[in-house]
Amino acid sequence: MDDCALSFWIYTGVMSVFVGSTLKKFLTSHVSSMPSLVAWLGATLLVERLCTLCMPAVLALAVLCAICWLYSSWDGPPYTLPVEEKAVFITGCDTGFGHATAKQLDAMGFEVFATVLDLEGEGAKQLRGTCSQRLTLLQVDITQTQQVQQALLCTKAKLGMKGLWALVNNAGVCVNFGDAELSLMSNYRGCMEVNFFGTLSVTKTFLPLLRQSKGRIITISSPSGEQPFPCLASYGASKAALNLLINTLRHELEPWGVKVSTILPSAFKTGQSSNTEYWEKQHQLLLQSLSPGLLEEYGEEYVLETKELFQNYAQAANEDLSPVVKTIVEALLSPRPRVRYYAGPGVGLLYFIHSYLPLTLSDRFLQRLFLKKKVIPRALRKENGLGLLNHSSNNNNNNNNNTPQRE
């Protein structure tokens, strides 16, 4: 075998392993956005250029990329399940994703059971005024077992023999901003209590109905549960625990015919995220709770900048919740719902970078995307002989999209 033929087969083998493994991971992750596809092609071509150029292999690679494009873009026939006789239970419908989804599903003809924290609140009043008689409002704090059980009894009484088609776990809370060391223990416990234990309680309570109907569970999670977003330790940890729970349920419920999906949205303006008084209250509470020593080492200006950054992110977040609502509808009516859905602009690219680029580059991208901090802790400034950096003029340049959510 001459040197040219040997080089060709070595090149073909290396490229087959690289492209095959990358393609498998890419397709199973359901990343279908154009930026992600372009990034994948760019990475493949970069490796290709490092190998020996050979025209037949280049043509074969082009064909493979074309097949990948067509396959990843094809979602199968445009067939959806009928809406008739389908009932859906949704948590956290006072505002945000739950509120918008309850309205949309009711308009489509679903029988909707929507939980709210306050039956006399503005969100509940809007649902009463805009939705049909099919929608049932239930006052439920998902951290209160008795209220969850009462919601189950009310749902079963109204459904009769019809059965519950789906549970949409939407209720969640994010009350934290700041470094993990500065975050209050009450924030960690609060996020876990709602996002993990509350969702677990609702899911366990309604599982018998879902197993009986061979229905489905749809859970709104967050990329911060899988990637280390700075200053979101308490929220991210609770979502990480939730993700593992849902994935475990997916395996365990497969023999029962229950489909389990997770939706990972990008940044949207929901709940208290645009409330200036809310951010100021959280900031003052944090300052009052920190020990004098810890506050001295970090500095009030460091904490203030973090608050301002989060507030800017919230103001810049997307107000159009339709990408998430459409994704929930797809997961409800698709004959073969996906395990994971990415909802909203940029989140597919975020996951691609996290999955395929070196960790150092992925971490740097995440930090620059989410937190462009200019102020360093006071103790480090003294140690390095640095003066206080002017951060107020830089905060206006932050175009970050991630924002804490109150679903």
What does the pLDDT read at residue 402?
38
Q: Which DSSP symbol is given to 136?
A: E
| Total residue length of the chain | 407
For residues 213 and 355, the model is more confident at 213
pLDDT in tens, 184-225: 898 899 999 999 999 999 999 999 999 999 999 999 999 989
pLDDT in tens, 12-35: 665 565 555 555 555 444 444 444
What does the pLDDT read at residue 386?
60
* Residue 235 is a catalytic residue: yes
What does the pLDDT read at residue 363?
81
CA distance 237 to 101: 26
Q: Average pLDDT in the 287-305 region?
A: 90
Domain(s) labelled CATH 3.40.50.720 in the chain stretch across 87-351
* pLDDT > 70: percent of the chain: 73
Compute CA 162 distance to the chain's CA centroid, rounded to the nearest angstrom. 32
Q: Which DSSP symbol is given to 290?
A: S
CA distance 128 to 159: 20
Residue 104 clears pLDDT 50, i.e. is over it = yes
Angle at 120 between CA 235 and CA 285, to 5 degrees: 35
Could you tell me which CATH number the domain at 87-351 has? Answer: 3.40.50.720
Residue 404: C-alpha distances to residues 28, 33, 105, 400 (Å): 28, 24, 25, 12
Across 45-54, 230-239, 342-351, 369-378, which has the greatest mean pLDDT?
230-239
CA distance 40 to 50: 16
Global pTM reads 0.76
What does the pLDDT read at residue 318?
72
Q: Beta-strand (E) ranges in 59-198?
A: 87-90, 111-116, 136-139, 166-169
Which residues, including other chains, have CB under 8 Å from residue 189's CB and lie 6 or more apart?
Answer: none
Q: Average pLDDT in the 65-84 region?
A: 64
pLDDT band at residue 392 under the 50/70/90 scheme: very low
Which residues, including other chains, have CB under 8 Å from residue 184's CB and lie 6 or more apart?
Answer: 176, 285, 286, 289
CA atoms within 13 A on the CB side of 194: 24
Residue 260 backbone phi and psi in degrees, to 5? -125, 125
What does the pLDDT read at residue 29?
47
Catalytic residue among 188, 235, 298, 342: 235
